[in-house]
Amino acid sequence: MHQQDINATPMQRVPTDDAPLQTADGRQAIQGRIGFVGLGRMGSVMAANLVAGGSRVTAYIRRPELSEELTALGLHPSLDIKDLFECDIVISMLPDDAAVHSVVFGRNDEIGLEGLAANLVPGALHLSMSTISTAAAARFAREHRRCNQHYIAAPVFGNPEAAKARELFIIAAGEADQVDRVRPIFDLLGQQTFYVGADPAGANLVKLAGNVMTATALEVLGEVLSLVRKRGLDPEMFLNILTSTMFGSRIHKVYGAKIAAQRYAASGFVFPLALKDVRLALAEAEAASVPMPSVSVVRDRLITGMARGYADLDWSALGLVAAQDAGLTINVEPKQN
């Protein structure tokens, strides 16, 4: 285990000429070397935004064919996770508990992946922006603390389009001074950051709760739009009335428009990822003895959609499941890459 005091972070060193305190537009500059793990549709856009903001980002990847694409975005791809070990901040944007666990603790299988916790320098910070369980977040925070490092949980609300426009909402939790340390990163990635306390698990609970609220809203939208369509009303006219009066949220407008137009091809959150989050939220609820019957319904609807072959569709395709159950003619767009 590293012996250096946890408060002696690499961020305390004197900035060099290539690491100014402020950018030309007056923003606080990001100090230190940045690594990134999880270069999927969300992660690659987020990492590219950091590069556009003046950071040098080392991107750990396991698929060599991604190198050219990521290099074109200004990233520095590497097939060796050891290239992250000297970074001051490592950001992870991974799909589930198991993926983050492999990165934090390493793997002893044929991949032979070395973990961040055992190898990052004392005072380094792991910024986990993945949507994971609260138990996993607590476990990762303990391990980094044991190794004299820092762990901040900062899952986001928003799809890849929002990420590209830097319109994410960031839910951050962990040591307050370390959250301040990475605020310049948040400022480059999102439109607003909410600090929810010192316990990293709290950020993941907020994210899971928000995601299941979205999922239940999509289920209801699918049901009511199926009703008006079957009764001969124009679903887009109906949706315009809803979103112009009592239901004007981004969820109702953006996803409602997809359901009304039967535009379900994947452009954001696909069924398996939505199901993962719904199951995590239900596990949290069971542990707290909180019944969530509406969320249980959505879980079953997601499973129904996957059984019908919709695993590659955006979770707005809950509207497709509802339309199909109502006996309506359905229209499924080809999968978009």
What's the pLDDT tens digit per position in 186-200?
999 999 999 999 999
The two tokens of residue 126 are 């792991």
Cα–Cα distance for residue pair 36/59, rounded to 1 Å: 5
What residue spans of the chain are helical by DSSP H? 41-52, 67-72, 97-105, 134-146, 160-164, 176-181, 183-189, 200-230, 235-244, 250, 256-260, 271-287, 293-307, 318-325
Same domain, 139 and 272: no
pLDDT at 302 over 90: yes
What is the SS3 assignment for 188-211?
A: HHEEEEEECCCCHHHHHHHHHHHH
CA 161, 167, 171, 174 torsion: positive or negative? positive
Same domain, 213 and 238: yes
Domain count, the chain: 2
Average pLDDT over residues 65-83: 95
Which domain-ending residue is among 164, 198, 232? 198
pTM, two decimal places: 0.87
Which domain-ending residue is among 168, 198, 228? 198
Residue 108 confidence (pLDDT):
78
State the first-to-last Cα distance of the chain, in angstroms, to the nearest integer. 43
Q: Is 221 part of a structural domain of the chain?
A: yes
Active-site residue, selected from the candidate residues 164, 207, 230, 253: 207
Give the domain range for residue 103.
Answer: 10-198
pLDDT at 15 over 50: no
Average pLDDT over residues 303-328: 96
Average pLDDT over residues 305-331: 94
H helix or E strand, kind and range, residue 89: strand 89-92
Domain harbouring 281, CATH code: 1.10.1040.10
Q: Is 127 part of a structural domain of the chain?
A: yes
Looking at this protein, which amino acid is placed at residue 14?
Answer: V
Give the residue from 278, 282, 302, 304 showing the smallest Cα distance to 292: 282
Cα–Cα distance for residue pair 201/152, rounded to 1 Å: 9
- 207 is annotated as an active-site residue: yes
Which domain-ending residue is among 198, 224, 246? 198
Same domain, 235 and 300: yes
Cα–Cα distance for residue pair 270/310, rounded to 1 Å: 9
Same domain, 139 and 258: no
What's the pLDDT tens digit per position in 109-141?
655 588 999 999 999 999 999 999 999 999 999
Residue 112 confidence (pLDDT):
58
What's the pLDDT tens digit per position in 196-233?
999 999 999 999 999 999 999 999 999 999 999 999 99
